Structure 1
Amino acid sequence: MAVLLGLVGAVVGGLALARPAGRIGTGSGSLGAVLALAVGLIGVALGGLVVATSDGGIGTGNGRGGAFVALAVGLVSVVLGGLALARARRTARLTA
């Protein structure tokens, strides 16, 4: 579940970075960036929770491997969302 959230956030962040005023919202394009940040943070939090509470190692069936993947993908989502948000704010400041 956490990996899917991180993956959705990475896709939305990539779309917000590639097309700032595209399909997700209009205007400055900050909606997609904020959505990517929020979903990425939730994915990182859930992945961290699974890593902290699992008692076995990787390959024991406790989900620790998937939790590490969720942490990585969620971090990518947060970075993409942050870059898109910074660009949306910069372009909004230039047009105002």
Structure 2
Amino acid sequence: MSQLPEPSDLSALAASVYTLSAGRIGASAAALLGLAGAVVAWRVLTRPAGRLGRIGAGPALGAGLLAMALGGLVAATADGGVGTGNGLGGAYVALVVGALATVLAGVALVRTRRGSDATR
């Protein structure tokens, strides 16, 4: 019969809250990049046709795709589970926010292209 580990042994498994590992930094950067892409794409969608619509959708799409790629890389290379300090939770957030930014930017890109074709 196996014994339960001592509480002092469990603290060695989880990382400190204040420790910044490479996985945490990468996941945080990816999540912030995806968030920036989602905000820009949302502004392109909600603003009337103007300068932001023409130049904002492309970078927002790139930011979303890059956030998903970096989040996927961190998730694939994380050694432990969520709470071990490897950035796995942040990688999941980056994947979701990056996908949201990609979808919003794709819709914005289609709308701006459709609008520019109608004016020709």
**TM-score normalised to the size of structure 1?**
0.90
Q: State the match for 1:82 in structure 2.
A: 106
Unaligned ranges ≥5, structure 2 = 1-28
| Equivalent residue for 1:16, pick from 38, 44, 47 | 44
Q: State the match for 1:58 in structure 2.
A: 82
Percent sequence identity over aligned pairs:
59
8 Å CA contact retained: 2:80, 2:86: yes
- RMSD, aligned α-carbons: 1.3
**TM-score normalised to the size of structure 2?**
0.73
Deviation at 1:21, TM superposition (A): 3.5
Q: Which runs of 4+ in 1 moved over 2 A?
A: none
Equivalent residue pairs, number: 92
Unaligned ranges ≥5, structure 1 = none
Indicate whether 1:70 and 2:70 are aligned.
no
| Structure with greater contact order relative to length (CA < 8 Å, sep ≥ 6) | 1
